[in-house]
Amino acid sequence: MRFDWTDQGTPTVEAARCTGCGLCTRLCPDQMFQLENGKAQVVAGSFLGCIACGHCVAGCPTGCITVRGRGMTGDDALPLPPKDTQASADQLRTLMLTRRSIRRFTAEPVDRAALDQILEAATTAPMGIPPSDVGVLVFHGRDRVQAFSEDACAAFARLGWLLHPVTLTLMRPLLGKENHRAMRDFVRPLLQALVAERAAGRDDFTYDAPAAMLFHYGPESDGADAHIAATYAMLMAESLGLGSCMLGTTAGLSHDKQFKQKYGVPPKNKFGLGLVLGHPQEVFQRGIRRRLADVRFA
Ligand code: SF4
């Protein structure tokens, strides 16, 4: 489903089952519902109209609202697991604290069922505005991941002109001082090192992982949507006992038509994070305290 500003969701209310509780009138961010004669009626929204956020469907106590369009089919309500099966704060913290970036994997393959669970978790990620315009390339099996790694490193090699010191100097007014320095002193040497390692038969890009995912997003959506979806996928992988490592260099693939063409990614889409997955070789004994750069209650 491609993102389209002009598409609208169409909510409908099954009047016979509506109790007139009014919850939908409070939940809808665009005031698409009004109570008339004790029943919910769909009215024109106050701003964007129905964006198919699903709040009304999720909240209606009798389940009498359906929404079609803008990515919804009218059959999107899922039963929620019992509240007492929800992860506690301690469980969630344990998951997050235990997770480390894994770059050494055993030979054990990743089950297809696990990949499906990880992808399903990515679909639950919040997004700026529905429908999602995030896509995922899935590489299942070492051979496919290696082919991806090979193609990505070839694309990085083709990016040489863009990261050439002369090009970067010309682009400095657009990039800004800090970005220019980061591209020159970090991104360029890093991509060059990945290409050189690949040429030497070593895989420092996907770490010889047995599975990988590459998130991408459309030109009218926010890159944060792809990053959050990748983060949800990563957390689900951790809960399934899989190690993972996020790849940021994948953003560079956004500039390579050949790579996009080969994998059927729309030309204007950009790549967000990559995620390599597998069974970790090592077990870690403790978490590491991290600190945000700046926290203040303003
Ligand atoms: Fe009717 Fe459901 Fe809206 Fe309550 S939330 S008023 S039952 S449509």
pLDDT tens, the chain, 298 aa long: 556 667 889 999 999 999 999 999 999 988 999 999 999 999 987 788 999 999 999 999 999 999 999 989 999 999 999 999 999 999 999 999 999 999 999 999 999 999 999 999 999 999 988 889 999 999 999 999 999 999 999 999 998 888 888 888 888 999 899 988 988 888 888 899 999 999 999 999 999 999 999 999 999 889 999 999 999 999 999 999 999 999 999 999 999 999 999 999 999 999 999 999 999 999 999 999 999 999 999 9
**Closest by CA position to 267, among listed 219, 232, 229:** 219
What phi, psi does 45 have (nearest 5°)?
Answer: -70, 170
- Does residue 129 have its Cβ closer than 6 Å to ligand 1? no
- Does residue 49 have its Cβ closer than 6 Å to ligand 1? no
Q: Which residue of 12, 14, 17, 21 sits with most ligand 1 atoms within 8 Å of its CB, as the best mutation to test the pocket? A: 21
Ligand 1 atom with the smallest distance to the CA of 33 is 3
Q: Which residue of 42, 65, 67 sits with most ligand 1 atoms within 8 Å of its CB, as the best mutation to test the pocket? A: 65
Task: Compute the distance from residue 81 Cα to the ligand 1 centre, in Å.
Answer: 22
251 vs 273: CA distance, rounded Å: 7
Q: Are 71 and 132 in contact (CB under 8 A)?
A: yes
pTM (predicted TM-score): 0.92
Q: Are 282 and 101 in contact (CB under 8 A)?
A: no
**53: number of Cβ within 10 Å:** 19
**Strand-pair category, 72-73 with 65-69:** antiparallel
